[in-house]
Structure 1
Amino acid sequence: MPITTSGLTTLFQQSTKYIKQLMNKPKKAVQGVLFITGLMALVACGGEEADSNVTRIGVAIPNFDDTFLVNMKDSMSAYAEKQDNLELIFVDAKEDTVKQLGQIQNFIIQQVDGIILVPVNTDATQPMTDDILKAGIELVYLNRRPTYLPDGVAYVGSEELRFGEEQAKYAAKHSEGGNIGIIMGMMTVEAAILRTQGVEDFFKEKPEYNIIRKQTALWQRSQGMVVMENWINSGDKLDIIISNNDDMALGAIQALRAAGKLDDTIVIGVDATPDGLMAIKKGALDATVFQDGRSQARGAIDAALSGINKTPRDKITWIPAELVTKDNLAEFEAKQG
């Protein structure tokens, strides 16, 4: 049965501040502290030997408060329960790169068979990747593609540019021009950068559309509402809101509804989360682009097991995107079961 671990031991949490102080020092010094910290955490937990018949995969998630990531985590747990002798160990980095680095070191010390990693920062993965490969542990990156993806490392996810392109196409099909605001995720994550780029590239040659606002809301619904409230209070007229995910779009919808502007604004998200689909049913969210978290979750486990069992696997597995609107919602939900 899969188990969930919400973080490292209290001892490790207390040591995080010292790790941060060492980030400007030589890499070996930082690695030494991380190694000792992880070892102490392992001893504190009892240092029990793992059952050799059980395949153990550590799963590093950036944020357990992110709706899409939690749904994907639940899909992984459900899929793992159908496998023989497979144990998943989940950890939450709370969007902290240093904390995630420590969690990966702890997995290495625990001698897990594989690691599935959704990175906090896609530009800061090389130290983790190199350490995992050096330890002889199979590595699969999931959902957020790192800039550093050497031989022997797999990736499962979607082509992020497509999400932005699909959002932009929908907006253009259902309007004749207007002012656009883009609510972005964390700009240390490739998904936010490329989804935004997909929108910008599509409208580049369409002078009737103007992107007048762009701001990050950190993937969070509450922040999406704050960003939208600020835009409304600025007095700028926004006809189309394109959000990098559903949660931020739902936050924008709350602000637009409170200001009496929702009926005059097109709002488009990404992910097709349960809350996003419900908003489409109610006519609040115009469209979302489905990011198939369930297939990504299964694909990551399959890729990790293939690596562990030394069977062939693709280096990159692309999971296709799909536009969901009120017109095809019933068909989409039927396919999802």
Structure 2
Amino acid sequence: MKKKTFLKSCLAATLLTLASTSVLASNGLIAIITPSHDNPFFKAGAEGADAKAKELGYDTLVASHDGDVNKQNQLIETAIARKAKAVILDNADADASIGSLERLKKAGIPAFLYDREINKTGIAVTQIVSNNFQGAQLAGEKFAELMGEGGEYVELLGPESDTNAQVRSEGFHDILDNFPEFKMVARQSANWSQTEAFSRMESILQANPNIKGVITGNDSMALGAEAALQAAGRKDVFIVGFDGLDYVRDSIIKGSNIKATIMQPAYAQAQRVAEQADLYIRTGSTGLPEKQLMDCVLIDSSNAKNLSNFALKK
């Protein structure tokens, strides 16, 4: 009996040691909440943050709010209940997200936002977003180069209420409006949707058969426009997109209608925000301003082969 008691005590001590080691091996939990991973851009961001957080010694909880503010609120409440060390968020709405982030701050859990800002400062520790205006200027410059001596063109916009859609359009026109020989014959919202872009492009093409180029606020719309042009046998119309999807990379390499896109560094952006979360957890400060911009990169035939998962391979 004494021998069995001794063995049980040794086993219990071993299990306790293993449990303690397991706890010590983790620096705590970081919750990573993003839009749907069905979109490659959002998936790349989630993967980037997850990989970096794990590399830095954290457990992670990766979840999607699917663009639903109520679901986002529930996920943030879960992070609070699980005493997360930090929340990394690509938010569902610039205004409606403020309340849940204020609850998070009240609970003593720092928030680190990337890709999209909220319309209030002082709640999140960090807000890192792509420099949409700079990226759109790059797109405008490439588009102007492809337009050559001039002609008619079309713009497909994201949702009119979306800040990114507005800023990108402003960046396009900061360049294109300097060329009086360029005539915009149609400007419609396709709500970031490939399906809507296909139907919009079909209608626009029927009404404006002489168009030379199409500039789009994201790559999903570029792919929809490309499908419509190909269905109409219009290989002569070029497209410039925005995002840096691998599908668009493939079109550029093939020499299809899409000639260029603007890469948002989604993976690198999410990794940077995870690094700042770690720094804040360890020291109480990032040493950086709350709002930060990351420049975008032009992708065309010269470098498309190096693009993979929103990052350029060296």
Counterpart pick for 2:232 among 250, 259, 265: 259
**Mind listing any 5+ residue stretches in structure 1 that lack a counterpart?**
1-49
Alignment of 1:329 onto 2:304: yes
One-letter amino acid of the structure 1 residue matched with residue 146 of structure 2: H
Of 141, 144, 147, 2:116 maps to 144
Largest Rg, 1 or 2? 2
The change in CA–CA distance for 1:186 and 1:112 in structure 2 (over 3 A counts) is farther
Residue number among 42, 50, 55 corresponding to 1:69 in the alignment: 42
> What is the CA–CA distance in structure 2 between the aligned matches of 1:77 and 1:302, rounded to whole Å?
11
CA contact (8 A) 1:66 1:219 kept: no
Check if 1:128 corresponds to 2:100.
yes
Number of aligned residue pairs: 286
Question: How many angstroms does 1:215 deviate by?
Answer: 2.8
In structure 2, how many angstroms separate the alpha carbons of the residues matched to 1:190 and 1:51?
A: 42
Report the equivalent of 2:9: none
User: Are the equivalent residues in 2 in contact too, given 1:122–1:189 (CA < 8 A)?
Assistant: no
- The partner residue of 1:271 within 243, 248, 253 is 243
RCO comparison, higher one (Cα < 8 Å, 6+) = 2
Quote the offset at 1:330 in angstroms: 4.3
How far has the Cα of 1:230 moved from its partner?
2.8
AA aligned opposite 2:52: Y
The 1:88/1:227 distance shift into structure 2, 3 A limit, reads farther
Task: Give the counterpart of 1:296 among 241, 265, 269.
Answer: 269
Paired with 1:192 and 1:150, the residues of 2 have a C-alpha distance of: 25
Q: Say which of 118, 121, 124 aligns to 2:90.
A: 118
Q: Which one-letter code corresponds to 1:268 in the other structure?
A: V
Query: In structure 2, what is the Cα distance between the partners aligned to 1:109 and 1:188?
Result: 33
Residues in 1 aligned to 2:31 and 2:138: alpha-carbon distance in whole angstroms: 34
Counterpart of 1:191? Answer: 164
Q: Deviations over 1:140-181 (max 9, x none)?
A: 111112221226521122111112111111111121223332
Shift of 1:238: 2.8
User: What amino acid is the match of 2:297?
Assistant: E
Give the structure 2 partner of residue 154 of structure 1.
126
**CA 1:75 to 1:264, structure 2 compared with 1: closer, same or farther past 3 Å?**
same
- Tell me the equivalent position of 2:11: none
Q: Secondary structure at the match of 1:286?
A: strand
Question: Which residue in 1 is equivalent to 2:185?
Answer: 212
Q: What percent identity do the matched residue pairs reach?
A: 23
Classify the secondary structure of the residue corresponding to 2:241: strand
For structure 2, the 5+ residue unaligned runs are: 1-21
Q: CA deviation at 1:91?
A: 2.0
Instruction: Check conservation: 1:167, 1:269, Cα contact below 8 A.
Output: yes
| Partner secondary structure for residue 254 of structure 1 | helix
After superposition, give the CA deviation of every residue in 1:173-215 in whole Å (9 maximum; x if it has no partner): 1212233322223344322221111112322333222333233
Give the Cα separation in 2 of the matches to 1:145 and 1:207. Answer: 34
TM-score (norm 1): 0.77
Taking structure 1 as reference, are residues 99 and 331 closer, same or farther at Cα in structure 2, changes over 3 Å only? closer
Superposed, 1:226-245 pairs within 5 Å as: 226-235=199-208, 237-245=210-218
The separation in 1 between residues aligned to 2:211 and 2:121, in whole angstroms, is 39
**Contact 1:160–1:194, Cα closer than 8 Å, also in 2:** yes
Task: Measure, in 1, the Cα distance between the counterparts of 2:237 and 2:71.
Answer: 40
- 1:313 equivalent among 266, 271, 287: 287
Mapped contact 1:145–1:155 kept (Cα < 8 A): yes
Q: Aligned partner of 1:267: which letter?
A: I
